[in-house]
Structures are given as C-alpha cells and as structure tokens.
Structure 1
Amino acid sequence: MERPRILHMFTPGRQMSPFDINMAADAGYQIIVPYCEVGLDRITGLTQDTIFSRGPKGVARTGIFIGGRDAQLAADMLERARTSMVKPFVVSLMADPSGAYTTAAAMVACVEAALKRHHAQGLEGQRVVILGGTGPVGRVAGVIAAQAGAEVYLSSRNGIDAAQEAADETGQRFGVKLHGLSGGDPDAVRRSIADADVLLACAAAGVQVVSSEALGAATRLKVAADVNAVPPEGIAGVGVMDDAKPLAGTQAVAIGALAVGNVKYQTQHRLLVQMCEAEKAQVLSFPEAFAVARAFLVEQAGKTA
C-alpha cells in the first residue's frame, strides 16, 4: 500500500494559518497536522519524531512546513530542523512565516521584471527604499534585493534608531549589507525617498506611508510596489490591480497588491508541489521562492509576447 503524503506544520504562534493549510492541501498533501506554540528548542525532537517513524521510503512522502510571524526565527527553525536529521532519514523542509518569504520574493521579482521591461536593467546598483521595512516582508524583501545587487534601505516610522537596528540585525543574520532610514514624519519620508530608484511599501494594511505630496520628491523613481490591499493605498496612486502601470505624477510604473499577490500565490503553490512530489528531500526558503517567482514571471511574459 502506498503511504500517504504527510505534512507536519510547526508554528511558534497560537495557531497555524488557515491559508497555509489550504495551500498544502491543494498541493497534494493528504494528511496535514499543525503544531502550535512550538519554540526553537522543540524543533529537534519534533523533527526526529517525524523522520524515524516512517523509514527511508516513507520520508520521501513526508514534509515539514515552518510558519509563524518572525522571518528570522523561521530561518533559525528551518536550519535547526535541517541539522536535526540523520541520513537516510531526511524529509523536505519549507519555511514561509505569515507568507513573508513568498510575498517578499514575489514583490521583488515583480519589481525586477518591471525594471528589465521598462529600463533594460535589473536590481543591481539600484537604490531600493522599503517603507515598513522592519516587518517580516520588508526585511526579507530587503535581503532578496540586496542579494540581487541593490543598495537597500529599511525605513521605519519609529525613527532612524529602530530602522538601523533592524537593518544591522537582519543584514548580519543573512549576510548582506542593509541601511536604515527614518520615516518618522512626512519630512523624513520625503527625504528618504528623494534618491530612490525603487519604493517598496510593506507597512501594515490600511496605512498610507507615502502621500501624493511626498511622492513628488522621488524624482529618480522607476518602480513603486505596494503590498497593501486595504484602503488607503500604501503609496498614493498605486492601485491594487496595477501591473507596471504608469504612476501619475512620476516617471515610474506602479505594481499593486493583487499583482504581487498573484505571483505570491503561484510561488507558494509551486514550492509546496515541488516539496510534495520530490523524490529527494528539498530545503525551501526565500532564495528558492525568489527563483520560482522569477521563473513564473518569465513564463507569463512568454505567453503575452
């Protein structure tokens, strides 16, 4: 009898995201089990319980998904699970805390595609300013953009100290250089975006971080992307459906939340399918998510060419 496909889902939070459970079921997992309030110290024991009970053949049909809301803790949990396994008892692993990894990957991939389409260049050398940059999506988007060669600034409404702390902490954890910027008041926002080539709005839903007046200061702007789907828009003038649409009052194009969301959905689905169907164990984090998001956008461009 063929063994069922099982996904064990670990989260440090009080509950696992229903979104992620649905995605796992649609990817082909037959048994999905959430484990809540799981700290880093419990990962080794849970991982070893997962691997040793199924045998070398069963582990190929077993996966571990790591959720939560902390991008760095998820990375630590993923690494702890990876190092807790003993060959040949090795299962596939994936982390995507609150969708931050796949959302950030989709957002940066959409921006990169727009830069290539409208300016014949990628992210290398571009000044990227991330509003709401101290949250999980902002931090991961910053790391991905920096790894692609951009000069990245994390902006915080709590001022330069909070922004620089997040930049230093995140940069050290993932081996990239990030910078902090203050977005504590309208004047600080205008100053912070004046030399930006790319703006990424990753603030809380329903919070406008860049007004139309402030946007006028961004005279070098090429692309503005916003993951906020709740009015008002995070960046004034960026509609949720915009997909590299000209942004009024600027020379830039706009990418809205639903355009990013479609790529995020496809990215997470493809990663879960890849993990579910793989014959050899996979370890999937935000670099793999970025690669999948890029590939999806290339496919879409080919269909419309």
Structure 2
Amino acid sequence: MERPFILHMFTPTRQMSPFDVNMAVDAGYQIVVPYADVGVDNIAAFTQDAIFSRGPKGVAHTGIFIGGRDVVVAADMLRIARKAMVPPFEVSVFADPSGSYTTAAALVASVESHLLRARDTDLSGKRVLVLGGTGPVGVIAAVLAAQAGALVSIASSRGLEAAESASSRINERFSVQTAGADARSGAAVASTLAETDVVFAAAAAGVQVLSASQLQSAPHLLIAADVNAVPPAGIEGVGVMDDGKSIANGKTLGIGALAIGNVKYQVQRRLFEQMLATKKPLYLGFEEALAMAREVLAERPAQAAA
C-alpha cells in the first residue's frame, strides 16, 4: 500500500495559519499536522524526527512547511532544516511566514509583468518606494525588487530613523542595497513620491497610506500596487480587482490586492504541488516563489489566446 503524503507544519507562533492548512490539503496532502512553538532552536530536531521515522522510501511522501510571522526567522529555519537533512533521509521544505514570501513574490512579479507589457521595461534602475516597508510583505518585496536591480526606498510611518534602521538590517541580512524613507507625514511621502517610479503599498490591512491627490502629484509614477484587500484601500483609487487599470488621469497603472492575491494563491498551490510531485527534495523560499510567480504570469498570453 502506498504511504500517505504527510506535511509537518512548523511555526514559532502559538498556532499555524488556517489559510496555509487549507492550501496544503487542497494541494493534495492527505495528513497535515501543525506544530506550534517551533523555532530556530528546535527546528533541526523536529526535522530529523520527521525524516528518520519513515525510511528512505517514506521521506518521498513527507514534507515540511515553515510559517510564523518573522521573515528572517523563517529564512533561518529553512536554512537550518536543510542543514539537518541526512541523505537519503531528505524531504522538501517550504517557508512562507504569514504568506509574505508568496505575496511579495506575486506583488513584484505583477509589477514586472505590467512594466513589460505597458512600457517594455523592467525593474532595473527603477526607483521603488515601499510603503509599509518594515512589515513582512514589505520587507520581502523590498528584497526582491532590490535583487531585480531596483533602487528601493523603505518607508516607515514611524519616521526616517525607523526606516533607516530597518533598511540597514535588511541590507545586512539579505545582501541587498535599500535606503530608508520618511512616511510620518503627507509632506514627507509627497517629497519621496516626486522621485518615485513604482510604489508598493504593503502596510497593515485597512490602513490607507497614499491618497488620490498624492498619486496625481507624483510626476514619474508608472505603477501603484496595493496588497491591502480590507477597506479602505491602501492606495486611494486602486480597486482590489484592478490589474493594470489606468489611474491618476491615465499616467499610472494600478494593481489591486485581489489581482495580486490571485497570483499569490496560484504560487503557493503550485509550490505545494511541486513538493508532492518531486523526486528530489526542494527548498522553497521567497526567491523560488518569485520564479513561480513569473511563471504563472508568463502563461497569461497563452491563456487569453485560448
């Protein structure tokens, strides 16, 4: 009898996200077991408990998911879990804390797709402002945009000092170059927007970080993308279903939360499915999520033609 597919879901927090449990089951995992209070100090032990108990054949039907809320802790747990493997006792591991890796990947890939379609360009050299840049999605979106060659500014409503501190930590941890930006006042945001090509709104749900008038006064803004699906919109005038809609008198394209969320959903589902189908262990973080998001969006012309 074929062994069932088991997914062990580890989180440093008190509970695993029901969203992630649902996604894993719908992707095809037959047994999904969440574990709370698993962090960098005990992830290696939990990983080895998972791999040695099923034998070399059983590990092919075993996977690990890493959740939580801290993007750096999740990256460290993914690295430690991988190091804890003892081939041939080796399983796939997927990290996506608070959905931030897949959401940020969908955000960045969606912006790239619209830049290519509308402007025949990419993020390289573009001035990107991340509002809510110290939160989980904002941090990873900033890292991915910087890796794509953008000039990234991370903004904080707590002021320039907080933004610069966050930027410094991100730069050191992920080997990228970002800068801090002040978002404590409307005037501060307007000043930064005057030199911005792309804005990501990744603040807390239900918090508006950019007004319609601020959009109108941003002379170089090509794209405004918002991941907030809870009213009010993070960017005034960007609807949740907008997917490249012209806003701000037609000079800017808007991308809304559900358009980005649809890509995020497909990315997470496909990464789970890859884990189920692979013959070799996979280690999936935000860079692999971005590659999958680009793949999802690259299929759109063929789907439209069909």
Per the TM superposition, whether the score is higher than 0.5 is yes
2:159 and 2:241 map into 1 onto residues whose CA distance is: 31
Aligned residue for 1:142, secondary structure, equals: helix
**In 2, are the aligned partners of 1:155 and 1:181 still within 8 Å (CA)?**
yes
**In 1, are the aligned partners of 2:225 and 2:254 still within 8 Å (CA)?**
yes
2:302 and 2:138 map into 1 onto residues whose CA distance is: 29
1:13 alignment partner in structure 2: 13
Offset, 1:165: 1.1
Offset, 1:100: 0.1
1:213 alignment partner in structure 2: 213
> TM-score normalised to the size of structure 1?
0.98
**In 1, are the aligned partners of 2:5 and 2:62 still within 8 Å (CA)?**
yes
1:288 alignment partner in structure 2: 288
Deviations 1:108-148 (A, max 9, x none): 00000000011000111111100000000000001111111
**In 2, are the aligned partners of 1:219 and 1:250 still within 8 Å (CA)?**
no
Offset, 1:302: 2.2
Q: Partner letter of residue 157 of structure 1?
A: S
In the alignment, is residue 167 of structure 1 matched against residue 167 of structure 2? yes
Offset, 1:161: 1.0
1:254 and 1:161 map into 2 onto residues whose CA distance is: 30
2:74 alignment partner in structure 1: 74
2:148 and 2:304 map into 1 onto residues whose CA distance is: 26
1:39 and 1:257 map into 2 onto residues whose CA distance is: 30
In the alignment, is residue 198 of structure 1 matched against residue 198 of structure 2? yes
1:132 alignment partner in structure 2: 132
Offset, 1:250: 5.2
Large movers: runs of 4+ above 6 Å: none
Offset, 1:240: 0.5
**In 1, are the aligned partners of 2:27 and 2:273 still within 8 Å (CA)?**
yes
Q: Which is further off, 172-181 or 264-273?
A: 172-181
1:110 alignment partner in structure 2: 110
Aligned residue for 1:262, secondary structure, equals: helix
Aligned residue for 2:154, secondary structure, equals: strand
Q: Partner letter of residue 140 of structure 1?
A: I
**Identity within the alignment, %:** 59
Aligned residue pair count: 305
2:193 and 2:80 map into 1 onto residues whose CA distance is: 38
In structure 2, stretches of 5+ residues that fail to align are none
2:230 and 2:126 map into 1 onto residues whose CA distance is: 28
Offset, 1:24: 0.3
In the TM superposition, 1:19-34 aligns within 5 A as 19-34=19-34
Q: Partner letter of residue 117 of structure 2?
A: R
Q: Partner letter of residue 177 of structure 1?
A: Q
**In 2, are the aligned partners of 1:155 and 1:183 still within 8 Å (CA)?**
yes
In structure 1, stretches of 5+ residues that fail to align are none
Offset, 1:301: 2.3
2:192 and 2:47 map into 1 onto residues whose CA distance is: 44
Aligned residue for 1:88, secondary structure, equals: coil
1:188 and 1:4 map into 2 onto residues whose CA distance is: 55
2:228 and 2:191 map into 1 onto residues whose CA distance is: 22
2:81 and 2:37 map into 1 onto residues whose CA distance is: 16
Deviations 1:81-122 (A, max 9, x none): 011111111100000001000000000000000000110001
Offset, 1:212: 1.6
> TM-score normalised to the size of structure 2?
0.98
Offset, 1:216: 2.5
2:272 alignment partner in structure 1: 272
2:278 and 2:115 map into 1 onto residues whose CA distance is: 33
1:147 and 1:250 map into 2 onto residues whose CA distance is: 29
1:228 and 1:53 map into 2 onto residues whose CA distance is: 42
Offset, 1:54: 1.1
1:303 and 1:52 map into 2 onto residues whose CA distance is: 43
Aligned residue for 2:263, secondary structure, equals: helix
1:126 and 1:81 map into 2 onto residues whose CA distance is: 36
Q: Partner letter of residue 290 of structure 2?
A: F
Aligned residue for 1:41, secondary structure, equals: coil
Aligned residue for 2:12, secondary structure, equals: coil
Offset, 1:174: 1.1
1:91 alignment partner in structure 2: 91
1:98 and 1:285 map into 2 onto residues whose CA distance is: 13
**In 1, are the aligned partners of 2:216 and 2:248 still within 8 Å (CA)?**
no
